[in-house]
Structure 1
Amino acid sequence: MIFSKILIPVDGSKHSDSAVEYGFELAQITKAQVILLHCHPPVPSGLGEPNFQKAIDDSTRRSYAILEKYTQHPKAQDVELSEKIIGGKTTTSITTVAETENCDLIIIGSKGKTDLEGLLMGSVTHKVLNTAHCPVLVIK
């Protein structure tokens, strides 16, 4: 199967590092576009000004710092790369972006929880596996 668009959700963890490494290599081989996605928790609107704007600015700054770690990766120069930052529920954001962007594949890092742990604790990877419209490649 040839992939044209790969979504890689990232959170700055070593599991994301592994997913990005694998994703960049696969994108080089298949000439696929890569979308790096960082999802941050929603900012409560009841904070009031100026606290609300400060919280949004802080969240945005942290998100860009996480994405920069991957856009500065040496292999990032060899792939067509775009970045997205979305606030909200992580699983929903990942699956919505994958569908909206017509991604062929989601590559996601995993902490290696068992199926039971994922079910009981609500693993993002477990939920994405069960709700995505496209194939999901889990990297440990």
Structure 2
Amino acid sequence: MYERILVATDGSELSELAVNSAIDLALLTQAELVAVKVVHHYPASYFEGSIMLSQSEVSHLREQADSEAQRVVDAVKEKAASRGVKSARAIVMQAELISEAIIEAARVHHCDLIVMASHGRRGIKRLLMGSETLHVLTHSHTPVLVLR
């Protein structure tokens, strides 16, 4: 049924639901698992409150974000392997648009399914905060399983 499943994670408790479901599906279908965390990189002129950050501070923050993201996807890979998934990969991507990076990762890695969680925001919260999940769901050519 599925040969390669991409699970998008941000390391949150909610995304852990997606991770567990993706692992279960990978085991059920003998599929490979691709764990992806997208790090949103801000431009160098990013303001933290009212203080402009120096280039070295921005670089340091990016390194920290990349390191934390790698830790998150490595944990998913380790969990999948310990549960018996035949092959699991841990991928960190940097992008301005998280949803587009997830769609691109599914395309590049030839995934048959994207599994991700949704906060289920509605109304003004969704309008103000956006929805990466909704964007993936409506723009991906790869089927998407959304968990809440």
Corresponding residue for 2:89? 82
Quick check: 1:14 aligned with 2:20? Answer: no
- CA deviations over 1:86-128 (Å, ceiling 9, x no partner): 11110110001111111100000111234x5686242111110
Of the three residues 82, 93, 96, the one matched with 2:101 is 93
Cα distance in 2 for residues equivalent to 1:119 and 1:113 = 5
CA contact (8 A) 2:36 2:93 kept: yes
Identity %: 26
Q: Which runs of 5+ in 1 are unaligned?
A: none
Residues 53-101 of structure 1 deviation map (CA, whole Å, 9 limit, x = unaligned): 323321211112222332342x432111001101111011000111111
Tell me the alpha carbon deviations over residues 25-48 of structure 1, each in whole angstroms, 9 at most, x when there is no partner: 110011101100000111434566
TM-score normalised to structure 2 length: 0.82
- TM-score, reference length from structure 1: 0.86
Matched residue count: 137
- The residue correspondences of 1:1-140 to structure 2 (distance < 5 A) are 2-45=1-44, 49-73=55-79, 75-77=80-82, 78-79=84-85, 80-88=87-95, 89-114=97-122, 116=123, 120-121=127-128, 122-140=130-148
**Aligned residues: CA RMSD:** 2.0
* Distance in structure 1 (CA, Å) of the matches to 2:108 and 2:2: 16
